[in-house]
Amino acid sequence: MLIKEKSPILSSEITDKTIFINRRKIIKAAAGISITSMLPAPASALVKKYAQVPVGPYSGDFKSTAFEDVASYTNYYEFSTNKKDSTVLAKNLKTSPWNITVEGEAEKTGIFNLEDILKANPLEERVYRFRCVEAWSMVVPWLGFPLAAMLKQFKPTAKAKFVEFTTLYDPEVMIGQKSKALGWPYVEGLRIDEAMHPLAFMATGMYDEELPKQNGAPLRLVVPWKYGFKSIKAIVKIRFSETMPGTAWNKMAPSEYGFYANVNPEVAHPRWSQSRERILGASIFTPKRKTEIFNGYGDQVASLYKRMDLSKQF
């Protein structure tokens, strides 16, 4: 006992830690080579499950928010309107097996197993800014694949002008659905050209691991230039339609939450300014960050809205 307590740190442990800390650097240098398979067993245990996933071309060069902050403060009204409680309650969701129903204006409709969808879509990492309509923001290294790549597999027809996404409805597990906090199930949507934009992303993981249930596992949308509520979690249905879908937040409070919901510091929410944002995890002494038009992605997405009056749409 005594000897064990006093024993020095093994040199092998030091080596393992060094390998872990330098993991990203090593992987970037040796793109394509599986580092995990090259390491001795103890070090492999420290390397995260998706550490070898390559960084995608649209990934940003931002410093990520701490994982603990992103995973312990979630908006997930299906479980609770409380951002802490939802992180605990979401653990009850069974995310495998998982099916996605595809409906509407597409050639390939039906029920698809998520495993099969994943096989056809190689993972990449995207470090994105994320801005909630409640005026807080974070930076998340998501893992997933472009939404366009997945949607094209279903061969949308020329009539597909919009895409609608629906979250699971299961009030026995998603106990927040027993309340009227929102109309259930949660529905979100994009115009087809927004959905096909290369920045629109489907996430299955973050921080080199599977997506935590509270962050939307097993499959959630990430639209970095729009307010966070557009980035719908736990998707079970995708419908291509000719008309604009009704969305959960817009139906709840149409004067506060629009269909487009593009991040815009100039257009205030009826109850608060959108000009600045609190950085999640930052100390109370850290000044708020200036919110950017389209959350900083304007160079890439502004052309989608050329014909729209940005001072009116929110």
Ligand X SMILES: Nc1nc2c(c(=O)[nH]1)N[C@H]1C(S)=C(S)[C@@H](COP(=O)(O)O)O[C@H]1N2
Residues engaged in binding Mo ion (CB under 5 A) = 75, 132-133, 228-229
Of 190-198, 229-237, 285-293, 295-303: span binding ligand X (CB under 6 A): 229-237
Q: Which is nearer to ligand X, 56 or 228 (CB)?
A: 228
Of residues 159-178, which lie at the interface with ligand X (CB under 6 A)? 167
CB of 166 to Mo ion, least distance (A): 18
| Of 275, 265, 270, 274, the residue nearest 298 (C-alpha) | 265
Of residues 121-140, which lie at the interface with ligand X (CB under 6 A)? 132
CB of 33 to ligand X, least distance (A): 32
CB of 270 to Mo ion, least distance (A): 16
Of residues 59-78, which lie at the interface with ligand X (CB under 6 A)? 74-78
In residues, how long is the chain? Answer: 314
142 near ligand X, rule: CB under 6 A: no
Amino acid at 285: F
Contact of residue 294 among Mo ion, ligand X, none (CB under 5-8 Å per partner type): none
Instruction: State which of residues 118, 150, 202, 232 lies at the interface with ligand X (CB under 6 A).
Output: 232
Q: How far apart are CA 271 and CA 284, in angstroms?
A: 22
Query: 74-78: which pairs have CB atoms within 8 A and are 24 or more residues apart?
Result: 74/214, 74/215, 75/132, 75/134, 75/228, 75/229, 76/176, 76/214, 76/216, 76/233, 77/176, 77/181, 77/182, 77/186, 78/167, 78/168, 78/174, 78/176, 78/177, 78/184, 78/186, 78/233, 78/234
User: What does the binding site for ligand X look like in residue numbers (CB under 6 A)?
Assistant: 74-78, 132, 167, 186, 215-216, 228-229, 231-234
